[in-house]
Chains A and B, each alone.
Chain A
Amino acid sequence: MAEQKVELFARRLDRGVQQAVHSNSAAGTEKRYTVLGKDYSAPDDLRRLAGQIRQHAIEHLDTYLEQAEQSLKRQGAHVHYAVTAEDACRAVSDILQKAGAKKVVKSKSMISEEIHLNDHLGSVGIESVETDLGEYIIQIDGDHPSHIVKPIIHKNRRDIAKSFEREGLGDYNDDPETITRRARVFMRDKYLQADAGITGANFVSAETGRLVLVTNEGNSRFCLAAPKIHIALVGIEKVIPSDAELAVLLNLLGRSATGQQLTVYTEFINGPARTDRPSGPQEMHVIFVDNQRSQILASDCREILRCIRCGACLNVCPVYRQASGHAYRSVYPGPVGAVLSPLLAGKNFKQLADLPKASSLCGACNEVCPVDIPIPDLLLKLRNRGHEEHAPSPGTPPMGAFAKLASSPMLWRFAMKSNKVMNLVPLEKLPLPYLQPWLKTRTLPEWRGGEFRSWMKDRRKK
């Protein structure tokens, strides 16, 4: 029988990779739990508040997006809009080509992964270098991130040392500190030579037009310190009402993502350089990208747009821990990806309709979510949509016989009683492939079918 694609991937995954993903994810969950517990007596109240803030923001996106645009323009930034991923890529290259820019440094941005920006820039002859250490390694390996926050969670130091050797960054050396120093030296020249810096944004405050960026390495700061043009790619859902909401959101983002009260660098960008503040980029462009987000807003899964990309749901997910990020065949892995990726696929929904099934619906993702997204509910809605659209469903046991049985009271009554014969059958010998793995670690209780019905009948008589 066909297996679920995620399950199949997990089964074939290298044991070393699986172990690394599992232990690193588990450590992330532990750190998050410790720091939230140490600092807050009721962290769940705070998560619910953050959820309301984000839900309010996306349900008033028409107002806040317009307000953000006005605020950004007031600060001297150029504002652009892109309906599709292709439009967004073109918007970036148009700005760069107009300015004659040939070299670009990039800080980590999930939306740039989503629209495959580097491939596009390469195709029009613009060099784009990822500056986040993990993302740089992904780039030189032609690989894809397997975690939202920890992109190379699936690689070990030996893999990285080999890649660095291949790229001419020095002889083979797998000491993490040496790897980091070599990247530091290499990136220095890239920053100083770059014509433009590209970043994402964690939040955009509608009231002030402030773009908020959080990083630990300092690379986004460098992308805004040396080059003369700044381009920010921002999903339209990133807008929040004002700076005041950041007190809640920033306090949850760092703790949920990496167990830090705040990440090392929390940067607030408010327009390009001014005559009395000449240090930063002379030009600032903000590109608001839709790429299916307005369609998600129209769907019954709009809560997923609350997401602030902390990765806590990946770390805690028993399926992610076993399968690793690449099993999800899309930019966003884990529970959030199982909801977001099929939705972002738009017309190609069916191709990723199996992802919402790669979940035991244990609910841990919802319990750790800093913006309280009801991920299990959304997974169920998407399973239903997949069923309605007749998406292929490998791994689902045939339920036709059960459906017949369960829709006829007479047959059901008969089956309940007669199934007692099952107590005499050695189940482990039945040739049912989907039953056998289950039975390996479990035993069925004795069949007592029909007892509830008799009890109900007797009760009515009384």
Chain B
Amino acid sequence: MSTARDQIFSSVRAALAPLPERTARPVFSKDVAEPHWLATEADSLTLFQKRAEATGTKCFTDMESCAAWLRSQGVRTVYIPAPLTRLAALCSEFCEVTSNYTRARVNEIDAAFTPAAGAIAESGSIILSDESTPDRLAALAPWHHIALVSRAEIHRTIADALAAMPDDPNLIWVTGPSKTADVEGILIQGVHGPGAQACLIV
């Protein structure tokens, strides 16, 4: 192996060798970092909706109201993956619907639906994986992103979600729309990612 590796490992070992004892790995219960209000909260679906709305993620529980929202937002081109035919029919009433997400159209497609790999009630986060959302750009580049969250896949806590992470090259927890406060601490939404984040609970 490389000499840089050997050098670093030997310096690290030399640094640690004189320690009379090393700090033991702390043992803690899985719920140690749960907010104290979590215990008195309702079912995970209601909690997820409440927390998601608090971080700026809009929640819909039926396709009609979700489509109506996109219409009111003046969406012109929406990406909807092939199997979601009913949704596509609803959206085609007011905008172009495509089931093909290509780089050439990154700046044209202004709304996209992608299936989520789950959600977290405690933080109101949506979980996306490469398996659920095969094109990372589709969930990121459009101004409106709507994740399809299955009720059965809502984890109650952050710790639960961490313990159940699937084997996937990329998992991302999305907690609200893309934002910055870099300019004078003023909050602006939609920096690089979606300016409007939503989820449709199915």
Asked if chains A and B come from one complex, the reply is: yes
- The chain A residues found within 8 Å of chain B, CB to CB, are 20, 24, 27, 38-41, 46, 49, 52-53, 55-56, 59-62, 65-66, 75, 80-83, 87, 131-134, 137, 150-152, 156-157, 160, 176-177, 179-181, 183-184, 187-188, 191-192, 208, 210, 216-219, 221-222, 224-226, 236, 241, 243-244, 246-248, 250-252, 258, 260-274, 276-280, 288, 290, 294-295, 297-298, 302
Instruction: Flag the segment in B21-29, B59-67, B70-78, B83-91 that touches A.
Output: B21-29
Q: Is B82 an interface residue (CB 8 A)?
A: no
The main secondary structure of chain B at its interface with chain A is loop
Residue of B nearest to A226 (CB): B137
Q: Are A251 and B158 in contact (CB under 8 A)?
A: yes
Residue of A nearest to B14 (CB): A298
Q: Are B193 and A176 in contact (CB under 8 A)?
A: no
Separation of A433 and B106 alpha carbons in the complex (Å): 65
Q: Is B53 an interface residue (CB 8 A)?
A: no
Q: Are A180 and B22 in contact (CB under 8 A)?
A: no
Identify which of A46, A61, A219, A295 contacts B33 (C-beta below 8 A): A46
Closest Cβ of chain A: how far from B189's Cβ, in Å? 9
- How many Cβ-Cβ contacts under 8 Å join chain A to chain B? 249
Supposing A192-B106, A264-B174, A269-B170 touch, asked if A279 and B134 sit within 8 A by C-beta, the answer is yes
Residue of B nearest to A132 (CB): B182
Q: Is B172 an interface residue (CB 8 A)?
A: yes
Closest Cβ of chain B: how far from A298's Cβ, in Å? 4
Chain B residues with Cβ under 8 A from A65's Cβ? Answer: 8-9, 12
Separation of A382 and B22 alpha carbons in the complex (Å): 23
- The chain B residues found within 8 Å of chain A, CB to CB, are 2, 4-5, 7-9, 11-16, 19, 22-26, 28, 30, 32-33, 35-37, 55, 103, 106-107, 122-123, 125, 130-131, 133-137, 140-141, 158-159, 162-163, 165, 167-186, 188, 190-194
Residue of A nearest to B167 (CB): A270
Separation of A266 and B178 alpha carbons in the complex (Å): 12
**Contacts A222-B140, A264-B174, A268-B172 supplied; 14 other A-B pairs, CB < 8 Å:** A49-B26, A59-B16, A133-B180, A152-B182, A157-B184, A160-B183, A184-B190, A188-B106, A192-B106, A236-B12, A246-B162, A262-B173, A279-B135, A297-B12
